[in-house]
Amino acid sequence: MLKESFLRYLRYERNYSDYTVLSYGTDLVKFEEFFKNMDEALDYRTVDADVIRNWVVSLMDAGYTASSVNRKLSSLRSFYHYLLRKGVVSVDPMLKIAGPKKRKPLPVFVKEADMARLLDETDFGEGFLGVRDRMIIEMFYSTGMRLSELVGLADKDVDFSAGVIKVTGKRNKQRLIPFGEELREDMKAYVEARNESCDGKCEAFFVRKDGRAMLPGTVRLIVKRNLSKVVTLKKRSPHVLRHTFATSMLNNQANLEAVKELLGHESLTTTEVYTHTTFEELKKVYKQAHPRA
């Protein structure tokens, strides 16, 4: 009766849809089956937090995702809130229950061999636009800068003699990114082609053919189009190249704190996600290479 009363309350007082009410009802039935298997004497009034925790463990063991388990706990939480208001229970067993944390997806990145193939073997087209499009890919990969940082780059931000680029990141925080000889020469070649194309009247470092600053959407399309030439990843965005920069740095023994500073992260915790990415890559290599893997 308690369950039926709660479901009527959802349908007619809270105006929940039939589908939602059915989902809540199914969750409660499954939970009841679980605790009755534990102890026939248990009912909704006598269930405690330990029983609910055991249910969560059983769901995770059965292969339910954190999202699915949290949805079921949401049903239970609403149910016990209802019972508490009605005076059926004096203590809400859900107060001590925390749902499982959702696992953050690992950053998507492009393998070093694919990036080499893209930059060294791929035809980007003739003239200024071809030079510019390749330069955009190389800049993302070589510096790890964000899309907003790239489109906001000005000539004065690139110091060729010192070998550093000044970028303005989130909350207008500025940082310096060093660059090597290869990127220096490629940037100089790009600037020469750019100035010739727009007669030196350029609004930004990266520009359209008429000299106006690049739009973020255009840069996204350029990256997506060119990454499609070497990879079949679902995500083919500028941020994937930022992930690729970080992963390549760590794979080649860069210090985590240094990568944090280069990326402009506020917290080291944000950067640490890339250590999981590199470990996943190590596991793949191990499984492919070791005879007993």
Could you tell me if 138 and 75 lie in one domain?
no
* Reported pTM: 0.65
Residue that is last in its domain, among 71, 96, 121 = 96
Q: Which of 139, 166, 132 is nearest to 242 (CA)?
A: 139
Q: Which of 44, 80, 190, 274 is catalytic?
A: 274
Alpha carbon distance 133, 201 (integer Å): 19
My answer on whether 283 and 155 are in the same domain is: yes
Residue 101 domain-assigned? no
pLDDT digits (tens, 9 = 90+) for 240-255: 999 999 999 988 888 8
Active site residue 208: no
Catalytic residue, candidates 132, 146, 194, 243: 146
Query: Residues 73, 128: one domain?
Result: no
Q: Both 144 and 50 in a single domain?
A: no
Q: Check 45, 81, 170, 188 and give the catalytic one.
A: 170
8 labelled catalytic: no
Cα distance between residue 157 and residue 270, in whole Å: 26
Q: pLDDT, tens digit, for every residue of 20-47?
A: 999 999 999 999 999 999 999 999 999 9
Of 11, 166, 175, 265, catalytic: 265
123 and 74, same structural domain? no
Give the pLDDT of residue 291.
Answer: 66
Q: How many CA atoms lie within 13 A of 119 on its CB side?
A: 19
Catalytic site residue 242?
yes
- State the residue range of the domain holding 50: 2-96
Same domain, 53 and 182: no
225 is catalytic: no
Q: Are residues 52 and 190 in the same domain?
A: no
Whether 3 is catalytic is: no
DSSP-assigned beta bridge partners for residue 165:
158, 177
Of 132, 242, 243, 260, the catalytic one is 242
CATH number at residue 178: 1.10.443.10
- Is 127 found in the same domain as 72? no
End-to-end CA distance of the chain: 55
Shared domain for 181 and 279, answered yes or no, is: yes
Question: Does the active-site annotation cover 53?
Answer: no
**Do 47 and 145 sit in the same domain of this protein?**
no
